[in-house]
Chain A
């Protein structure tokens, strides 16, 4: 899933490690999210969005989700 995590992280000048510590995941998980290899759970998506003081939709791109 496409996200704006990397862009927002650079804007706030924080490292992957710092963001990971703030939201309770490892640096590798942030790397995977930024690389679109891993899709965050609802709880993690909420925590990341809260951290940047944005809504989940503003951080995560749901437009390419497959329809059932």
Chain B
């Protein structure tokens, strides 16, 4: 359990760094906003929402980890939850299914977009290609190591 405790402590530090980078980058963007192209209110609202959402999520995870470090039972429960074999199988099956559905939807969208807009078509095609590259690289890696 000591190894897992060290992992959680490392995660807290990394999440705090991510939080710092998020705040810093948002601050810089706000300061530089007048130099950037004018964006619609909807996009600005979306960006602010993502920023606030990220901060709330990171704070929640950090506080959850911190409370687990103070309580041995909570730490053991977290360890079990993260290492539970059924949960891992659920995660694996969900990922594979989601990936297949995403690929089908994106491929169909690419074909349809080709009839209307070349920029959207190339963007979607790039996303499909990138997804396939990531998928095949991961597949090759796991075939070698497992």
Residues of A participating in the B interface, judged by any CB pair closer than 8 Å: 20-21, 24-26, 28-29, 32, 38, 40-41, 43-44
Nearest 6 interchain pairs by C-beta: A29-B86, A26-B84, A25-B84, A41-B85, A38-B86, A24-B80
Residues of B participating in the A interface, judged by any CB pair closer than 8 Å: 76-77, 79-81, 83-87, 89
27 contacts across the A-B interface (CB closer than 8 A) = A20-B80, A21-B76, A21-B77, A21-B80, A24-B79, A24-B80, A24-B83, A24-B84, A25-B80, A25-B84, A25-B85, A25-B86, A26-B80, A26-B81, A26-B84, A26-B86, A28-B86, A29-B84, A29-B85, A29-B86, A29-B87, A32-B86, A38-B86, A38-B89, A40-B85, A43-B85, A44-B85
B8 to chain A minimum Cβ distance, whole angstroms, is 17
